[in-house]
Amino acid sequence: MAEKLSAVKGMNDIAPPASAHWEWLEDILRTLMRRYGYRNLRTPIVEPTALFVRGLGEVTDIVEKEMYSFEDRLNGEQLTLRPENTAGVVRAALEHSLLYDGGKRLYYMGPMFRHERPQRGRYRQFHQFGAEALGFAGPDVDAELIVLACDLWAALGLTGIELEINSLGQPTERLAHRQALIAYLEAHVDQLDEEARRRLHSNPLRILDTKNPAMQDLVNAAPRLMDHLGAASLDHFNRLRSLLDAHGVSYRINPRLVRGMDYYNLSVFEFVTTQLGSQGTVCAGGRYDGLFEQIGGKAAPAVGWALGMERILELLKEQGLLPEQPAPDAYAVVPDAARVPQVMPVLRQLRQQGVNVQMHAGGADGMGSMKSQFKKADASGARFALIFGEQELEQGAVALKALRGPRLEAVAEAQSLLPLNAVADWAARLRGA
């Protein structure tokens, strides 16, 4: 036998029954985006490596150690499986002049790739849903995006998700803070881990984002960026705060919140929960007014967030909120294989009328016993069985049997025999039952 192959470590198949939960979540997300006027953008999964190096910044976890980068063997191009999609959205917006007639509200969903240590809530292929508002200077759209996320938690029934916000100000303000931060960290250099020492002069702000528990006290006492912000940045932040207040959205200001990419400025935020262990950030984002220029385009303000779909689904599971598996309306029981050519077109008519019907599939040697067919019908979760028995078919009809849920009378009037030539009529009632 050939050697068994399995999926790449940290990359998962999503099969039934779990895939139904994904589809359910995706539907809710799409509906919500329509409500807020966000439209779908689909970009390639592979992008030029330079997009992420320039967009996210060279001294970031993603670019330093998490990207799946490779050379195209045929033409030598340097390519990367997208580790995130904000840079791709901005590239596409520039490439197609999407902002020619004003700002655009966009959303995406799909797989992202980061070479991380796989664990609960952290995978090498994972899925993000992201919302981006391009060409708007805020802070109204900043607030809109945050409120939209809160609406999502409510639509899903999720509780216990807390909002943290901060302002990263503008690059010039960060420069002043940077001096103070370097001086502070130099004074405590003995407490820095190897990574922090390496970043001390290249990207000290990133040190505040460390996940090393031994450094938490140190970074908690570090000089605050907030104390270096000018009037305009503070005003933007305060207006965002009052908008959140006006919505009754509660939040905590976390002066240490700096986010993992260099492209952020002004508003940054994260939605966190304590119910997922150490992978507690379910949604994160912020403003990135400098990104358009950084990847070679005309400057445009922008803000957005991305949520980790695996983490949201895990939290839904944790809170017992995952929906039941979808079931067909009806399951067709066909005792005699010779009747299949007559039955299949009837089922097709039903489906064309909007009824979800599953037909019992036979084997090479027939349809199987009635008992086994009814077992399958029951296991399918269908509310009705349609029995295409010999006697019924002789009368030009099909028998209806309620398996669960509503009473039979809702569908068939006096008897449970449905005439085949009135499919449309009883389809409407099957659907509505």
CA distance 425 to 416: 14
Residue 304, token pair as written in the block: 């957005």
Segment lying near ligand ATP (by CB under 6 A), choices 123-131, 189-197, 392-400, 403-411: 123-131
- For 11, 110, 263, 334, the CA distances from 308, given in Å and listed in that order, are 14, 10, 19, 45
275 binds ligand ATP (CB under 6 A): no
Smallest distance, ligand ATP to C-beta of residue 122, A: 4
How many CA atoms, within 13 angstroms, populate the side-chain half-sphere of residue 48? 10
CB 226 within 8 A of CB 167: yes
Question: What distances in angstroms separate CA 341 from CA 333, 337, 346, 387, one per listed residue?
Answer: 14, 8, 9, 15
Q: Are 286 and 254 in contact (CB under 8 A)?
A: no
The answer to the question of residue 84 lying near ligand ATP (CB under 6 A) is yes
Report d(CA 140, CA 207) in Å as an integer.
30
Nearer to ligand ATP (CB atom), residue 135 or residue 308: 308
* Shortest separation between residue 206's beta carbon and ligand ATP, angstroms: 11
State how far the alpha carbon of 392 is from the alpha carbons of 215, 293, 347, 395, 416, in Å: 76, 72, 16, 5, 11
Q: Is 116 in the site for ligand ATP (CB under 6 A)?
A: yes
Which of 282, 333, 377, 411 touches ligand ATP by CB under 6 A? Answer: 282
Instruction: By CB under 6 A, tell whether 284 contacts ligand ATP.
Output: yes
Residue in the structure block whose two tokens are 């909120």: 321
Site for ligand ATP in 307-326 (CB under 6 A): 307-308, 310-311
C-beta of 155 vs 370, nearer to ligand ATP: 155
For ligand ATP, the closer of residues 114 and 241 by Cβ is 114
Of 358-397, binders to ligand ATP (CB under 6 A) are: none
Considering the complex, state which of residue 305 and residue 388 has its C-beta at the smaller distance from ligand ATP.
305
Q: How far is the CB of 81 from ligand ATP (least distance, A)?
A: 13
CB of 193 to ligand ATP, least distance (A): 17
Query: Least distance (Å) from ligand ATP to the CB of residue 393?
Result: 53
The answer to the question of residue 134 lying near ligand ATP (CB under 6 A) is no
Q: Does 306 bind ligand ATP (CB under 6 A)?
A: yes
| 3-state SS assignment for residue 109 | strand
Most distant CA atoms of the chain, gap in Å:
93
- Asked if 281 interacts with ligand ATP (CB under 6 A), we say yes
Pattern of binders to ligand ATP over 246-265, x per CB under 6 A? Answer: --------------x-----
State yes or no: residue 128 binds ligand ATP (CB under 6 A): yes
User: Which CB atom, from 312 or from 423, has the smaller least distance to ligand ATP?
Assistant: 312
Crossing angle between the packed helical segments 49-56 and 86-95, to the nearest 10 degrees: 110
Please say which residue, 108 or 126, places its beta carbon nearer to ligand ATP.
Answer: 126
Supply 25's token pair: 């979540």
Neighbour-count burial for 28-52, b at 16+ CB within 10 Å, e otherwise: ebeebbeeeebeebebeebbebebb
Residues that bind ligand ATP (CB under 6 A): 84, 114, 116, 121-123, 126, 128, 260, 279, 281-284, 306-308, 310-311
